[in-house]
Amino acid sequence: MNWANESIPREFILLGFSDQPWLEFPLFIVFLISYIVTIFGNLTIILVSRLDSKLHTPMYFFLTNLSFLDVCYTTSTVPQMLVNLCSTRKIISYGGCVAQLFMFLALGATECVLLAVMSFDRFVAVCRPLHYSVIMHQRLCFQLAAASWITGFGNSVWLSTLTLQLPLCGPYVIDHFLCEVPALLKLSCVDTTANEAELFFVSVLFHLLPLTLILISYAFIAQAVLRIQSPEGQQKAFGTCGSHLIVVSLFYGTAISMYLQTPSHNSKDRGKMVSLFYGIIAPMLNPLIYTLRNKEVKEAFKRLVARVLNKK
C-alpha cells in the first residue's frame, strides 16, 4: 500500500461529545464561562504583577509566566471546542490539528518544568531566607524561566515529529475534542508500540522527575517550617507555599493519570474527562487559587483599582 497518499488528510473529524448530544449545550456554556474566567483571571495576575512594584519579586515573576502559559494553553484548544460544540460538522483542518498538537505538548511540558522551578523558588525563600535575594537574582530567574520554555517546546518538536511521521488511515475520525498524541496514535496504520514507549518515557521525564524534585523541595520546606517557633511565622511560611502545592496537585495528578498509561489501556471517556480537567479546569482554577489565598495579590489588586478610580 502507498502510505504517502493515505497519511496526510485534509481535515479530521473531532467527535468530542457527539455521542451524547444532550451534553453539548451545557458543555458549551461551561467551557465558555471557564474560558472567560481563565483569560480574565490570568491577565489580571499578569497586569497586577507588572504594575505593582511590591510584586516585582521572583515568586511573582514565575507566577506571571504561569499565568501567560495558562492563557496560551486554553486558547490553543477551547475556541475550537466551542466552535465544534455549535456545529454539525465537527472538523479541524490538518494544519490546525498539527498546531494544536504542538502547542498542547509544548505548553504542557513547559508547565511541568515551570512548577518545579517555582518550588525551588519557595525552597530558597523558606530554607535560605537570608540569602534569597543573592541566590534568586534577576539573571537566574530569567534563565530558569527560559529553560522551562525552551525545554517544553523542544520536547514538543521531538514528540510532534514522531507522531506526525506515522501513516494515518481513514476514516480520519478522532474520538476526542482535541488533537493530542494518544488520540492520534489510534489512527495509525502501523504498530505504535515504539511511539507509546516514547510517550511513556517523556511522561516520566516531564511528570515524575519534576514532581519528585517538588516533593523533595517541600520535604525540606516542611522541616524548616516546623523549626519556626512562632505560630504566625509557620502560618506565613505555609501560606506562601500552600497555593503552589494545590496547583501542583491539580496539574500533576490529572496529567500523570492520563499520560502514564498507554493509549490502548486508556478508556476514551476517561481520557476526555482528564484532558478537560488539566487543559481547561486547572488553568481556570490557578488564578483563583493564587488570588483568593494570597494576601499580597489581593492588596496589590486593591491598590491598582484605587489608583484607577483616583485618576477618574
State the cell numbers at 132: 534569597
Whole-number pLDDT of residue 66: 92
The CATH homologous superfamily for domain 3-311 is Rhodopsin 7-helix transmembrane proteins (1.20.1070.10)
Is residue 233 predicted with pLDDT exceeding 60?
Answer: yes
DSSP E strands in the chain: the ranges are: 11-14, 91-93, 173-174
Burial 90-103 (b: 16+ CB within 10 A, else e): bbbebeebbbbbbb
| Angstrom distance (rounded) from CA 146 to CA 235 | 32
Mean pLDDT of the region 37-63: 89
- Report whether 115 contacts 247 (CB < 8 A): yes
| Angstrom distance (rounded) from CA 243 to CA 16 | 32
| Angstrom distance (rounded) from CA 108 to CA 180 | 11
If you ran DSSP here, which 8-state letter would residue 168 be given? B
Cα 297 to Cα 52, 235, 241, 244, 278, distances in angstroms: 9, 17, 14, 14, 24
Is residue 267 predicted with pLDDT exceeding 60?
Answer: no
SS3 string, 181-238, reads HHHHHCCECCCCHHHHHHHHHHHHHHHHHHHHHHHHHHHHHHHHHHCCCCHHHHHHHH
213 Cβ contact list (under 8 Å, min separation 6):
116, 119, 120
pLDDT in tens, 145-176: 999 999 999 999 999 998 888 888 877 888 88
* Angle of CA points 303, 308, 309, to nearest 5°: 95
State the cell numbers at 152: 517544553
- pTM of structure: 0.86
- Distance from the first to the final alpha carbon of the chain: 71
pLDDT in tens, 238-265: 766 777 788 888 777 776 666 655 554 4
Is residue 4 predicted with pLDDT exceeding 50?
Answer: no
- Report whether 181 contacts 101 (CB < 8 A): yes
The residues facing 92 across adjacent strands are 12
Name the burial class of residue 194, with classes exposed (0-12), middle (13-18) and buried (19+) by CB atoms within 10 angstroms of its CB: exposed
Is residue 189 predicted with pLDDT exceeding 90?
Answer: no
